[in-house]
Amino acid sequence: MKLIVGLGNIGREYINTRHNAGFMAIDKLLAGQMARQDTKFEAEIFKSGEMLLCKPSTFMNESGRAVRKIVDFYKLDICEVVIIHDDLDIDLGEYKIQKGVGPKVHNGVSSVESALGSKDFLRVRLGINNREKNNFGGSGSDYVLTKFTEEELEEMSDVIEESMDELVVALSL
């Protein structure tokens, strides 16, 4: 079984923010199917065959708590976990699929690493950095909470589709 977790923040105010790129990817994989809220996991879960799609309902910085509960319940190995997340170290429109490598700072990813006691899981790192084009002078933590422009949403949709296609092939789902 594979656990594919998209990181993000719950709540209407976070829809289409850069920090919710992981949620956007899970929504793309769900293709309109509905996940159910499962309070014992603190997550929205969709199960299909040997695949679990998950959007933690904890906030970003506590994502590891939900991931740990699911991993324990299903008795999964670290190699069966995939985390999809925004990455400020990568330019908008680009992505990387890597094992054990992540951004310099990402509290959601750090939470998962801490909860699992390992960094050795697959990550889909979705680039969100477009600060120069947007003339953004604030902090990274402020920037990740800004909403994508319509043009950026189109670019994100394309990169999410491309990265999810690659992920599905890589996992042989």
19 is catalytic: yes
**Residues 6+ positions from 71 with CB-CB distance below 8 Å:** 3, 81, 116
Q: How many alpha carbons lie under 13 Å from residue 148 in its C-beta half-sphere? A: 22
Strand intervals (E) in the chain: 2-6, 36-38, 43-48, 51-56, 81-91, 95-99, 122-129
Q: Which of 2, 19, 85, 125 is catalytic?
A: 19
Q: Which residues are tagged catalytic? A: 19
